[in-house]
Amino acid sequence: MPQPDPQVLARKPAVVAALREVLPASAVIDDPAETRAYECDALTAYRCPPLCAVLPASTEELAAVLKICHRMGVPVVPRGAGTSLAGGALPTADSVILGVARMTEVLETDYANRFIRVQTGRTNLSVSGAVGEEGFFYAPDPSSQLACAIAGNIAMNSGGAHCLKYGVTTNNLLGVTMVTMEGEVLELGGAHLDAAGLDLMGLVCGSEGQLGVVTEATLRILAKPEGARPVLIGYDSLEVAGQCVSDIIEAGVLPVAIEFMDRPCIRATDAFSGAGYPDCEALLIVEVEGSEAEIAEQLEIITGIARRHDPVELRESGSAEESARIWLGRKSAFGAMGQINDYICLDGTIPVSSLPEVLRRMGDLSRDFGLDVANVFHAGDGNMHPLILFNANQEGQLALAEGLGAEILKLCVEVGGCLTGEHGVGVEKRDLMEHQYRPADLEAQMRIKDVFDPAWLLNPAKVFPLSVSAARREGGLAPHVA
């Protein structure tokens, strides 16, 4: 991270005093013992306590905070629930952490028009919880959904296991109330569809808190399906399993999820969970939705395709218990891995057709680096989550694991994919951006920030390689346009 600005550090008392004028005392946290709670997010390898943390309770309070920080030239790092795996909410010593944790209200539910409006500190799962009794749900379902906040979901454009059918956050977001760094409150989108002019909401979603702070969101809610059922398919070849995924998609059935596990992952999760998985090279879990008859119709096509590829195992669920057992290992995969090893979870996406090649070359890299890699991922959309296993207590292993991670992500880009499918760039992949984008492409993205945040005060040290954004961060040198 860049060096903190000594002038800002020196002004800490004045900044804190100004913030206390617009917020209740309990909402401004500047005691070093307490600001430690905000020193990192879920990317715990990087830590730095902020100048202070503030927890406004309304859009108005939050706007007042931003006005002060803008006037005093203090960088601001927005924070949802702090579950980012990419360091999206990692502070610098000269920054104010602006948390939305106290803004959790449901503001409006409208079933006829199929939307819910919430304050963005609300957790992802509790949005579905608020509409569940009426038979509705909010579709994007990142695995951290119990803890993660809608604010962070919007900042990172979060996905989940079911986005093959339902899309990611940007496809389910109808409107936002956003506060700019200057403290101006904007309404982008709303309960109606599409933008009157340029799609600024589309731009804000996934901008990692660098364009504005979203305080309220209008989200699409959908009617829950009548039922869902998975099928488990095992193969003794990664290529064949990859081909099966491709064939299922091409056949025109659209499963809600196609999950893929490789042998290291199958073994670890089975030992941990007792799910009873076969010991094979690749395991697929394919889930479909609908009424009983519709599920049967879809599964007939899927199992037909699976059989043509000669599986070593094909297990259709006949009951809720059997469904739970099929999902058991998959859902405990990360826990299982965590128990036997430290790991880094990557998030690259690749074209589905490159799956066998990428898995083979990842195996080669794993051997070269002498670190095991286990794979469990959303195969339907090519979003991989390779887990690099290492021992954090052994000196040099973290750096080695990060080096392997970088090579794997470069491989994803080389085959036509990208560095991150749903976690975001943050600080974690910031310095790899030049492998995916040419200078002109990055310049185009930075121009957007120049428009929304000309002084580059909002979450400034993220997304763009520090060398690339240096001129803009150091004193608002953004080329000025009359």
Partner 1 sequence: MMRPGSEAELAEILAGAHAPLAVRGGGTRGVALAGDVVETGGLSGVKLYEPGALTLVVGAGTPLVEVEALLAEKGQRLAFEPMDHRVLLGGEGEPTIGGVVAANVSGPRRVQVGACRDHLLGVRFVDGSGEVISNGGRVMKNVTGYDLVKLMAGSWGTLGVLSEVSLKVLAQPQAEATLVRRGVGAAEAVADLCRAMGTPYDVSGAAWLEEGAELRLRIEGLAGSVAYRAQALGAALCGGLEVVEGAESAALWREVRDVAPFAATAGAVWRISVKPTEAPGLLEALAPHKAGAMLDWSGGLVWLLATGGAQAIRAEVDKLGGHATLVRGADDATVPMFHPRPAPIARLEEGLRKRFDPKGILNPGLMEGA
Looking only at residues 125 through 184 of this chain, which bind partner 1 when binding is defined by CB under 8 A? Answer: 135-136, 156-157, 159, 163-164, 167-168, 170-171, 180, 184
Q: How far is the CB of 479 from partner 1 (least distance, A)?
A: 9
Nearest approach, Cβ of 458 to partner 1 (angstroms)? 13
Using CB under 8 A as the binding rule, the residues of this chain from 303 to 362 that contact partner 1 are 349-353
Contact 98, 63 (CB under 8 A): no
Q: What H or E segment, with its residue span, contains residue 228?
A: strand 228-235
Closer residue to partner 1 (CB): 111 or 394: 111
Q: How far is the CB of 181 from partner 1 (least distance, A)?
A: 12
Of 263-302, binders to partner 1 (CB under 8 A) are 290-291, 293-294, 297-298, 301
CA-CA distance, 149 to 137, in Å (whole number)?
16
Nearer to partner 1, 52 or 468 (CB): 468
Residues from 200 through 219 that contact partner 1 (CB under 8 A): 200, 202-203, 205-207
Tell me the closest approach of the beta carbon of residue 340 to partner 1, in angstroms: 28
Closest CA to 203 of 231, 228, 178, 167: 178
Q: Which two tokens stand for residue 385?
A: 């989550």
Binding mask 359-398 for partner 1 (x = CB under 8 A): -------------------x--xxx---------------
Q: Tell me the closest approach of the beta carbon of residue 165 to partner 1, in angstroms.
A: 10
Cβ proximity to partner 1, 110 vs 279, nearer residue? 110
Q: How many CB atoms lie within 10 A of CB 432?
A: 19
Applying the rule CB under 8 A, the residues between 411 and 450 that interact with partner 1 are: 416-425, 429, 433, 436-438, 440-445, 447-450
Task: Compute how many residues bind partner 1; rule: CB under 8 A.
Answer: 94
Range 337-342 contact pairs with CB under 8 angstroms and sequence separation of 24 or more: 337/265, 337/268, 337/269, 337/374, 337/387, 337/389, 339/272, 340/268, 340/272, 340/389, 341/372, 341/389, 341/390, 341/391, 342/389, 342/390, 342/391, 342/392, 342/397
Cβ contact 241:296 at 8 Å: no
CB of 277 or CB of 437, closer to partner 1: 437
Strand partners for 317:
none
Q: Which is nearer to partner 1, 299 or 344 (CB)?
A: 299
User: In the structure encoding, which two tokens stand for residue 428, read together?
Assistant: 């974690």
Q: Which of 129, 225, 338, 363 binds partner 1 (CB under 8 A)?
A: 225
Interface with partner 1 (CB under 8 A), residue from 9, 10, 107, 111: 111
Long-range contacts (CB closer than 8 Å, 24 or more residues apart) made by 392-396 = 392/342
Among 17, 107, 399, 451, binds partner 1 (CB under 8 A): 451
Which of 259, 257, 276, 255 minimizes the C-alpha distance to 267? 276
Complex with partner 1: residue 252 or 396, whichever CB lies closer: 252
Q: Which is nearer to partner 1, 190 or 338 (CB)?
A: 190
> What minimum distance in Å lies between the beta carbon of 174 and partner 1?
10
What CA–CA distance (Å, rounded) separates 48 from 50? 6
- CB closer to partner 1, 44 vs 291: 291
Q: Does 253 bind partner 1 (CB under 8 A)?
A: yes
Least CB distance to partner 1 at residue 476 (A): 15
Phi, psi of 220 (to 5 degrees): -70, 130
Chain centre to alpha carbon of residue 177: 21
Please state the closest distance from residue 297 (CB atom) to partner 1, in A: 5
Which token pair is 14? Answer: 């004045």
Dihedral in degrees, nearest 10, Cα atoms 385, 363, 274, 391: -80
Residue with tokens 């890699």: 373
Helix (H) or strand (E) holding 177: strand 173-179
How far from each other are the two terminal CA atoms of the chain, in whole angstroms? 32
**C-beta of 202 vs 278, nearer to partner 1:** 202
Q: Measured from the CB atom, is 25 or 293 closer to partner 1?
A: 293
Scan residues 50-109 and list those touching partner 1 (CB under 8 A). Answer: none
Q: Please identify which residue in 196, 319, 393, 395 interacts with partner 1, judged by CB under 8 A.
A: 196
Q: Which of 347, 337, 422 minimizes the C-alpha distance to 372?
A: 337
Choice from 19, 98, 176, 188 touching partner 1 (CB under 8 A): 188
- By beta-carbon proximity to partner 1, the closer residue of 256 and 326 is 256
Distance (Å) of CA 357 to CA 238, 283, 344, 353: 9, 17, 22, 9
Give least dist CB 343 to partner 1, A: 21
Q: Supply the minimum distance, in Å, between the C-beta of residue 60 and partner 1.
A: 16
Cβ nearer to partner 1, comparing 37 with 296? 296
Question: Per the structure block, which two tokens stand in for 76?
Answer: 């601001």
Place of tokens 């080389």: 414
- State the minimum distance, in angstroms, from the CB of residue 392 to partner 1: 27
The residue within the footprint of partner 1, chosen from 26, 33, 112, 321 (CB under 8 A), is 112
